[in-house]
Amino acid sequence: MSLSYSELEKWWADYKEEQASWGGILIEPYPELLTTWYAERLIDNSIPASKENILAAKRHMMDLDRQGTEEFPWVFDEEAGHRPIRFIEENCRPTEGDFDRFVLQPWQHFIIGSMFGWVHKDTGVRRFREALTFVGRKNGKTSLISGLSAYMLGYDHEQGANVYVLANAKDQASILFDKTKEMVKQSPRLDKKYKPQRSVIKDEATFSKMEARASDSKKLDGLNTHFAIFDEIHEFINFKLINVIKKSRGTRRQPLITYITTAGYVLDGPLMQYYDNALDCLEHLEDGLDERVFYFIAKLDDVAEADDPRNWIKANPNIGLMSFVDLVTDWKTERNSPQERADWITKQFNLFSDIDELSFLDMQTINKNNKEINWETMKDQECVAGYDLSETEDFTSADLEFPIYETGEIAVLEHSWISQERYNNDNNKQRLDAWIKSGDLTVTPGPYVDYDYVFDWFVEQSKRFKILKVRFDRRNSLILNQKMIDYGFVMEEAIQGFTTLGGPMKDLKERFLDGKVIYNKQKIFRWYLSNVKLVQDRNNNWMPTKQSKNRKIDGFAALLNSHVSVVEMFANESKQTANVGFISIREMMKGG
């Protein structure tokens, strides 16, 4: 969209007028619930949306078709879904921006209507116990949090409703709490019903209260959660506070936990797990996953869409109420700075990224490599192995790498190990448990990884595949290396330096960029990939390093070791294929 400032202003005014004419942008509160209407507009592309939100719309329509059946006992109650929307529009006032009242937009009808409208056909209990709302910054998250909190405190027909606004740090949680307090004071009806105090808002009629909590709060016990709303869980590095809240809802009839966040830079925290769960659910609707979790994933589908502001609504569904012209002019200036561009991509366009311009792979590239392979079809195929051993309590990883000459692809079979002590001290046991359950991680007894488990894995794999050689980092490998030699493996050191690893690392990146790495979407391996950062020598040779001490790259290090040989195998295969001789016509005649 290369328009001058004046042209852009005119285009934006015309666009808003056209959108308002048919309901894409609402000027007045709409008297009916628009959840299903919005789903239909996403499906027919009247409203641009991410592929995930189009799937969320299809999920809603699919559920409408099967509602109230024996297999699917939930029904969509439009009155129940519309009630909190009417409450917010009639009783709450914005505490930020140039607005004197709330007019909830169609995308908010979809989210709130879904969370509150789907109920059990017999009991009326809400279907959804959790909800993830994933949107770009400045989409009215704070106001939505405050409005829903005020509703759940005293208007959800619940006695003793405990409502918590939650954040990673106490200061942020307090900001959210104070915004709700301001909202209450601005509403004659709410100010009369509720009693705002310094650290609590009470509804004495229902014996309910609202408080702020954070990961760094000193007191997290004794909670009894009816409604909890987490802000910006991309900042959370573990599940500590989330687990406390989940465990505190046991006595509640229909508790609700919702997470409202943008993308972020913590790629191994709770948000990534919820995001992965969302993709798994929405991309496999026929499997009926996460029946009681609602997902709204607003994002660009590809970073290339950033240069056309008409796509921005995909990540910013509230864009009709934003200062769009200023956003466009800011983007045109700031996109030329690598760090500012990375911040825009992550926060405004809601794509997982890393602000470090030397990051090895972004999430879009990693996810592009989504092909899967049946390992039984690779039986007896040639491969190169690699391993990276832990110092003491850290991750140990090993891989088999199969070159596929016909397509230029590589197939990677990876496994990891940690010690029981390392498992016991980990802040993200849920993540580890998922990897253990999928068969990709083994916990060995004691305080350090027993390398006999690694040896046994290689022996077992050698019975299925033809392991040509094993490439290894000499560090920590003396005992295992000798045991592998005694068994009969061909061992070859992969020298850990810029000269040896730089070329293979660049080759790996090219194959990832081309979508030619098959790893069966293994989550632990994807985690390793997302943690890799580059360091360069003065000759621009590459070496991998970790983003931080808690973000491990052992699985990638094992692959890089094996790839030192696999690059050579591809080069040799290319030479053999190209080794075509020249025969003159005279020689052909002689042969005849």
Q: Which residue has the higher pLDDT, 441 or 286?
A: 441
Same domain, 55 and 113: yes
Structural domain includes residue 584: no
Q: Which pLDDT belongs to residue 537?
A: 62
Task: Name the residue range of residue 402's domain.
Answer: 363-577
Tell me the C-alpha distance between 377 and 67, whole Å.
41
Q: Which pLDDT belongs to residue 355?
A: 39
Beta strands in 408-472 (DSSP E): 409-419, 441-444, 466-472
Tell me the C-alpha distance between 429 and 435, whole Å.
10
Q: Which pLDDT belongs to residue 553?
A: 87
What does 50-110 look like in DSSP terms, one character per residue?
-HHHHHHHHHHHHHHHHTTSSS--EEE-HHHHHHHHHHHHHH---SSSS-SS----HHHHH
pLDDT for residue 583 is more than 60: no
Tell me the C-alpha distance between 471 and 89, whole Å.
64
Same domain, 311 and 421: no
pLDDT for residue 581 is more than 80: no
Same domain, 335 and 445: no
Element (H, E) at 507: helix 498-513
Same domain, 397 and 339: no
Q: Which pLDDT belongs to residue 359?
A: 66
Instruction: Quickly state the pLDDT bin for 426 (edges 50, 70, 90).
Output: confident
Beta bridge mates, 544: 534
Average pLDDT over residues 331-345: 88
Question: Taking CA 291 as the corner, what is the angle to CA 288 and CA 295, rounded to the nearest 5 degrees?
Answer: 100
Helices within 200-299 (DSSP H only): 240-247, 270-283
Same domain, 316 and 402: no
pLDDT for residue 35 is more than 50: yes
Query: What pLDDT, in 10s, does the model give residues 408-425?
Result: 999 999 999 999 999 998
Q: Which residue has the higher pLDDT, 187 or 363?
A: 187
Q: Which pLDDT belongs to residue 356?
A: 41
Q: Which pLDDT belongs to residue 143?
A: 85
Residue 251 maps to which CATH number? 3.40.50.300
Q: Which pLDDT belongs to residue 317?
A: 97
Phi then psi dihedrals of residue 416, to 5 deg: -130, 160
Q: Of 412-426, 520-534, 548-562, which range is least confident?
A: 548-562
Q: Which pLDDT belongs to residue 155?
A: 95
Percent of the chain with pLDDT over 70: 91
> Among 291, 315, 348, where does a domain finish?
348
pLDDT for residue 591 is more than 60: no
Q: What is the mean pLDDT of the chain?
A: 89
Average pLDDT over residues 319-348: 91
Query: What pLDDT, in 10s, does the model give residues 237-270?
Result: 889 899 999 999 988 999 999 999 999 877 778 9
Q: Which pLDDT belongs to residue 112?
A: 97
Q: Which pLDDT belongs to residue 582?
A: 47
Structural domain includes residue 357: no
Percent of the chain with pLDDT over 90: 66
Structural domain includes residue 586: no
Q: Which of 274, 287, 547, 292 is nearest to 434 (CA)?
A: 274
Same domain, 301 and 394: no
Q: Would you say 132 and 293 are in contact if contact means Cβ atoms under 8 Å apart? A: yes
Q: Would you say 353 and 299 are in contact if contact means Cβ atoms under 8 Å apart? A: no
pTM of the model: 0.74
Q: Which pLDDT belongs to residue 592?
A: 44
Same domain, 331 and 435: no
pLDDT for residue 177 is more than 70: yes
Q: Which pLDDT belongs to residue 590?
A: 52
pLDDT for residue 63 is more than 80: yes
Q: Would you say 196 and 185 are in contact if contact means Cβ atoms under 8 Å apart? A: yes
Same domain, 428 and 341: no
DSSP class of 345: I
> Among 348, 378, 405, where does a domain finish?
348
Query: What pLDDT, in 10s, does the model give residues 461-513?
Result: 999 999 999 998 877 678 889 999 999 999 998 877 777 788 888 999 999 99
Q: How far is CA 456 from CA 396, 408, 451, in A?
A: 14, 30, 9
Structural domain includes residue 82: yes
Using DSSP bridges, classify how beta strands 208-214 and 201-203 pair: parallel, antiparallel or unpaired. Answer: antiparallel
pLDDT for residue 45 is more than 80: yes
Same domain, 282 and 394: no
Q: Which pLDDT belongs to residue 44?
A: 97
Q: 545: Cβ–Cβ under 8 A, 6 or more apart, which residues?
A: 532, 533, 534, 535, 553
Instruction: Quickly state the pLDDT bin for 172 (edges 50, 70, 90).
Output: confident
Instruction: Quickly state the pLDDT bin for 536 (edges 50, 70, 90).
Output: low
Tell me the C-alpha distance between 154 and 203, whole Å.
6
Same domain, 80 and 127: yes
Same domain, 223 and 76: yes
pLDDT for residue 514 is more than 90: yes
Residue 395 maps to which CATH number? 3.30.420.240
Q: Would you say 149 and 227 are in contact if contact means Cβ atoms under 8 Å apart? A: yes
Same domain, 297 and 336: yes
- Count of structural domains, the chain: 2
Q: Which of 418, 458, 459, 453 is nearest to 435 (CA)?
A: 418
pLDDT for residue 127 is more than 90: yes
Structural domain includes residue 588: no
Q: Would you say 546 and 552 are in contact if contact means Cβ atoms under 8 Å apart? A: yes
Query: What pLDDT, in 10s, does the model give residues 257-309?
Result: 999 999 987 777 899 889 988 988 998 898 888 999 999 999 999 888 999 99
Q: Which pLDDT belongs to residue 579?
A: 53
Q: Which residue has the higher pLDDT, 44 or 145?
A: 44
CB neighbourhood size of 325 (10 A):
18
Structural domain includes residue 354: no
Average pLDDT over residues 562-589: 70
Average pLDDT over residues 108-134: 97
pLDDT for residue 217 is more than 80: no
Residue 584: both structure tokens together = 């003159």
Q: Of 55-59, 102-106, 498-502, which range is least confident?
A: 498-502
As a whole number of Å, the end-to-end CA separation of the chain is: 67
